[in-house]
Amino acid sequence: MKMSFRWYGRQDSIPLEYIRQIPNMKNIVSAVYDVPPGEAWPEESIQELYRDITAAGLEFKVVESVPVHEDIKLGLPNRDTYIDNYIDTIARLSKIGIEVICYNFMPVFDWTRTQLDKQLEDGSTALVYYKEQLKKMDPVYSDLSLPGWDASYTREELQALISKYKELGEAGLWSNLEYFLNRVIPAAEEHGIKMAIHPDDPPWSIFGLPRIITNEANLDRFLNLYDSEANGITLCSGSLGCTSDNDMVKLAAKYISLNRVPFAHLRNIKILENGDFEESAHISSYGSLDMAAILQALYKNGFTGYIRPDHGRMIWGETGKPGYGLYDRALGSTYLSGIWEMLEKSGGK
């Protein structure tokens, strides 16, 4: 297991020097952020990111994410140009020793929460998903926009995009994903990179949009689309774990033993009685997931990949990018490292 920390580049309010001071922290997960989706990342930007990270005494082996252009997901005629660019980015990332690329195949919206600063009982704030709040945010019927949305679309553009996806449906999205994998995975293999798809977050349809990377049956289907260790999964406990229908311990054991998990996001989530959820502190008793059992499944099945603490709460008065503060993620990572030390010393018991 190699511990890592997500960093948003020079515009991140957290200096790399601080991240390096977290015990057991050796790796940075990052990306080039100033290139529009669909374009190849310039060699110079990749080199600059690499130099910043390594100069701080940290390693750069995992990229999160290389975004997939909507035209690829929609299967539009110009998708091949965007896929060519994607493959160029893969080749360039391999030159600086990148081993894993995390990406997702979610239509229009990436992760979805309804509030980013919900105050928890202890005074900390966290990201939450409340269905009642979501109802008021449907972009088809209202101008309200969800936190974290791509504000570059006008309301009309957004509505047009959403209706295209509704027409495409799940079957169409699966077939466009397969097309993408058939072109990208051979390139990843050639360059020694493992592609790791991130599950849909949350793992169900929102606003009638198709979502397909959601549960065990669909993860099986995904892995069978292209049978290669370069076609893997980012095992995100906080995304798949948003519903108790997904048994995270079982899923971890299964896909790690198949050698299809090069990267894992580990965080806890508190599922409420009505199916809403709140992001919680990493420790098992604060949420619905048994983090020790998940790590045990990683250990027992020979996990050698990268993990990172995922979203943290905002604590100790910290302000910054919701979910991506320094303090709670640092606490999360040391908690995860502590469990791992015990697993190593006890032989996984």
Which positions lie near Mn ion, rule CB under 5 A? Answer: 236, 265
Pairing of strands 231-236, 263-266: parallel
Residue 6 C-beta: closest distance to Mn ion, Å: 9
Closest CA to 14 of 344, 336, 312, 342: 312
Partners of 309 in beta bridges: 266
Distance of closest approach, residue 29 Cβ to Mn ion, in angstroms: 11
92 or 211, CB closer to Mn ion?
211
Q: What's the min distance (Å) between Cβ of 91 and Mn ion?
A: 26
Cβ-based nearer residue to Mn ion, 67 or 172: 67
Name 119's bridge partners: 125
Question: Which CB, 63 or 236, lies closer to Mn ion?
Answer: 236
Of 163, 172, 162, whose CA–CA distance to 75 is shortest? 172
- Secondary structure (3-state) at 49: helix
Q: How far is the CB of 322 from Mn ion (least distance, A)?
A: 14
Distance CA 182, CA 185 (A): 6
Q: Are 179 and 226 in contact (CB under 8 A)?
A: no
Comparing CB distances to Mn ion, the nearer of 113 and 265 is 265
Cα distance between residue 152 and residue 157, in whole Å: 9
Closer by beta carbon to Mn ion, 210 or else 323: 323
CA dihedral 147, 163, 155, 40 (to 10 degrees): 70
Q: How far is the CB of 195 from Mn ion (least distance, A)?
A: 15
